[in-house]
Chain A
Amino acid sequence: MKFAVIVFPGSNCDVDMYHAAKDELGEEAEYVWHDATSLEGFDAVLLPGGFSFGDYLRTGAIARFSPIMNEVVKAAQARKPILGVCNGFQVLLEAGLLPGAMRRNESLKFICRPVNLAVKNNETMFTSFYNQDEVIQIPIAHGEGNYYCDAATLASLKENNQIVFTYEGTNPNGSIEDIAGIINKDGNVLGMMPHPERAVDPLLGGADGLKLFKSIVKQWRETYAVKA
């Protein structure tokens, strides 16, 4: 399986994403610069965290118009797995691939620490290795992770089981319904504020994020591997 790690000017978790896919999963991975115009040959897309374009205007607002995003939209339509973490999540929201928007954290502070998450939907291609309602520990690092959507969108997210991760215990940023990660209706675009790529090895303080990446590979193998 071949992962594309999209790199915008100001991305800073691209190396961690690459490490997760290449070294931890043992799959193929390549960096793709934001002004590239093709994602041919890639099976999945990883949008890393960071501060694309300096977070100017709004987080993700400028990155969303990078040439590569046309290809990311096409990959999403082709039902390829797309994972956006932190700034990657913000880019997916701005691009309209996921509903809602981000506000500044309620505390106005940049928060960088491990948090507990509850897996609210383990029937996605990103979460099949987790148990339903399993509590996992993944680090967050953001100043704008206060997820917001209107009442109609929230109702639709719930109805379609699109809330994948919620903060367990304390909500660090004030997000609506403690939302930490959501998936699109088709089930192939996941956006989340916590960083699973920073939790793929006990050396990093925990490996709870690794199952997320493993789930992607499992689903891909089950779909595409030739059945004997």
Chain B
Amino acid sequence: MYKVKVYVTLRESVLDPQGTAVKKSLDTMGYQAVEDVRIGKFMELTIEKTDRDVEEVVKEMCERLLSNPVIEDYRYEIEESVVL
């Protein structure tokens, strides 16, 4: 089994209205040191071992469904979990 963590964020070039609102709020609260806030999504997947290379499968899922390549970037971490 694999434990996969997928992080999806809006691309740097795309304005993030949620992030901007949160940054403004932090600013009002006194955290003026915050330069930028980007809101994203975090997904945890549990994937069974198959013949296919897990990284290849994860990339494919990210590009087809988990992220929208037009406006979002993704990264992932794959961990093999030992089934006892």
B68 lies within 8 A of A58 (CB): yes
Q: Does B65 contact A (CB under 8 A)?
A: yes
- In the assembled complex, which residues on chain A have CB atoms less than 8 Å from the CB atom of B66? 57
Interface residues of A in 148-187 (CB under 8 A from B): 148-150, 174
Q: Which residues of B contact A110 (CB under 8 A)?
A: none
Q: Using Cβ atoms and an 8 Å threshold, which residues of chain B touch A115?
A: none
- Give complex CA distance A149, B68 in Å: 12
**How big is the A interface, by class?**
20 to 34
**Are A61 and B68 neighbours in the complex by a CB distance under 8 Å?**
yes
Contacts of B70 in A (CB 8 A): 93, 99-101, 148-150
- In whole Å, how far is A70's beta carbon from the nearest beta carbon of chain B? 14
Cβ of B57 < 8 Å from any Cβ of A?
no
A211 sits at the interface (CB 8 A): no
Residue of B14, B41, B65 near A103 (CB, 8 A) is: B14
**B15 at the binding interface (Cβ < 8 Å):** yes
Q: How many residues of B contact A (CB 8 A)?
A: 13
Is the beta-carbon distance between A57 and B65 smaller than 8 angstroms? yes
A residues near B41, Cβ cutoff 8 Å: 57
> Would A148 and B71 count as touching, CB distance under 8 A?
yes
- Cβ of A11 within 8 Å of any chain B Cβ, yes or no, is no
Pair B17/A94 contact, Cβ less than 8 Å: no
Are A103 and B15 in touch, CB under 8 angstroms? yes
Q: Least Cβ distance of A153 to chain B in Å?
A: 8
Q: Which residues of A contact B14 (CB under 8 A)?
A: 103, 148
A105-B10 Cα distance, complex, nearest whole Å? 14
Residues of A within 8 A of B (CB): 57-58, 61-62, 65, 93-94, 99-101, 103-108, 146, 148-150, 174
Interface residues of B (CB under 8 A from A): 10, 13-15, 17-18, 21, 41, 65-66, 68, 70-71
12 additional contacts (CB under 8 A) given A103-B17, A105-B17: A57-B65, A57-B66, A62-B65, A65-B65, A93-B70, A94-B68, A103-B15, A103-B71, A104-B18, A106-B15, A108-B17, A148-B71
24 of the cross-chain contacts (CB-CB < 8 Å) are: A61-B65, A61-B68, A65-B65, A93-B70, A94-B68, A99-B70, A100-B70, A101-B68, A103-B10, A103-B14, A103-B17, A103-B71, A104-B17, A104-B18, A106-B15, A108-B17, A108-B18, A146-B17, A148-B14, A149-B70, A150-B13, A150-B70, A174-B15, A174-B17
